[in-house]
Amino acid sequence: MNTALDVERIRKDFPVLSRELPGGRPLVYLDSGNSSQKPTQVIETIREHLAMHYSNVGRAMHVLGSESTEAYENARDKIAAFVGAPSRDEVIFTKNASEALNLVAYAFGNPINEDPRFRLGPGDEIVISEMEHHSNIVPWQLLVQRTGATLKWFGVTDEGRLDLTDGVITERTKIVSVAHQSNVLGTVNPVAEVVRRAREVGALVMLDASQAVPHHPVNVAALGVDFVAFTGHKMVGPSGIGVLWGRRELLDAMPPFLGGGEMIEAVWMDHSTYAPVPHKFEAGTPPIVEAIGLGAAVDYLTGIGMDAIEAHERELTAYALQALKDVPTLRVIGPETLDERGGTVSFTLEGIHPHDVGQILDDEFGVAVRVGHHCARPLHLRFGIPATTRASFYLYNTTGEIDALVRGLHHVQKVFG
């Protein structure tokens, strides 16, 4: 299989990458782990739908309503195929991955849910990890506060790997929710081993795949998990749209997350019955154009090929890890080899705050990186640092842009003596 990307052709699809910053500096965008840029194909799909086809979905009997509904549901089909979902009805549209994670957390310990798999109380356990994004920490903390259950977590090794040696999963574990790929470390976690341990005690498994689905092939059925959350804006799609995939039997057993129009079957003054999934979880007017834009993003990524995107990012990551070794006092936080790692590299420079690093890179070199704790403060506390500088790569990045980053870092060190 030929996995080489024509990166220069791809870059022409992204209007912003041709932008010239003040002072004539070219834009070097190394922040796709935060949010990716958008190709013309996605932008034009959104524009065309808003201009010529827009209407609310699932209600109107006129032409525009039919066209909008068809486009919205076609997007669901595309996403189901993209992640290997056994059924389109297992794909729930949310506004982002955070909402998808909260939706599942809401189902546990809910008094109207009588399914024993979701019963949660004192003595029961929820397992996450120390490398999670806040979106996969806070919903479970809130659940613990509501139910009296116990929150536990896997630690992280000095090399930035999940520490699976301490028996965190026990017979009291009800759900394990971990990142497929860390948004700070780049680590790709051993999902199969986590699933094996969870199944031994009858626990459910959820993946935050926000950093995985955009960057390498993901097949939810093959992973053997129960729920997967991801978001559109990191995969060349628009913001305001996310996805929850869940096994149909579990989604059927879960109570609605929000009440309103569209998610109902029938309403009386004293009670209601609910629509089947996926609509049971899509109350009110959904993010119509955003979902259609995400469908266009899936078309774009599929046309290029996820295998090719993954291979390109591995080449970039290998190049970056080697190039960064030439920067004195730079410390990579996370794996320093390509083994089970993605295209996100976080680092510190001795004696220089990441905010200063990011400011100089942007002001003087046009290099856009992320600085801070990247919504993963517990992970930074684990490594004894307040923040990191993060460079994250995608299908449109080049080795020349990594060279620009390295030149900028050398300059930062000169500025700070």
- The tens digit of pLDDT for each residue in 62-79 reads 999 999 999 999 999 999
- Percent share of the chain, pLDDT over 70: 99
Average pLDDT over residues 138-145: 98
Average pLDDT over residues 123-146: 98
d(Cα 78, Cα 12) in Å, to the nearest integer? 24
3: confidence class by pLDDT, cuts 50, 70, 90: low
Q: What is the pLDDT of residue 109?
A: 86
Average pLDDT over residues 285-310: 98
- The tens digit of pLDDT for each residue in 360-402 reads 999 999 999 999 999 999 999 999 999 999 999 999 999 999 9
Average pLDDT over residues 46-54: 98
Is 375 a known active-site residue?
yes
Q: How far is CA 404 from the centre of its chain?
A: 27
d(Cα 402, Cα 48) in Å, to the nearest integer? 36
d(Cα 343, Cα 222) in Å, to the nearest integer? 23
d(Cα 398, Cα 404) in Å, to the nearest integer? 10
User: Which CATH architecture fits 44-302?
Assistant: 3-Layer(aba) Sandwich (3.40)
Mean pLDDT over the full length of the chain: 96
Options 21, 253, 275, 375, the catalytic residue: 375
- Percent share of the chain, pLDDT over 90: 95
d(Cα 206, Cα 155) in Å, to the nearest integer? 18
Asked if residue 187 has pLDDT above 90, the reply is yes
Q: What is the pLDDT of residue 33?
A: 98
d(Cα 103, Cα 85) in Å, to the nearest integer? 19
d(Cα 257, Cα 254) in Å, to the nearest integer? 9
Helix H or strand E encompassing 197: helix 191-200
Asked if residue 120 has pLDDT above 90, the reply is yes
Q: How far is CA 58 from the centre of its chain?
A: 28
295: confidence class by pLDDT, cuts 50, 70, 90: very high
User: What are the residue boundaries of the structural domains of the chain, listed by start?
Assistant: 7-30+305-415, 44-302
Q: Can you say whether the dihedral through the CA atoms of 186, 104, 372, 363 is positive or negative?
A: positive
Average pLDDT over residues 184-188: 98
d(Cα 78, Cα 360) in Å, to the nearest integer? 41
Strand partners, 258: none
Rg (CA), the chain: 22
Asked if residue 1 has pLDDT above 60, the reply is no
Residue whose C-alpha is closest to residue 182's, from 210, 204, 159, 158: 210
d(Cα 405, Cα 345) in Å, to the nearest integer? 12
In this structure, what token pair is assigned to residue 112?
A: 């109207």
Query: Are the CB atoms for 195 and 224 separated by under 8 Å?
Result: yes
Tell whether domain 7-30+305-415 is in CATH 3.90.1150.10. Answer: yes
Average pLDDT over residues 132-146: 98
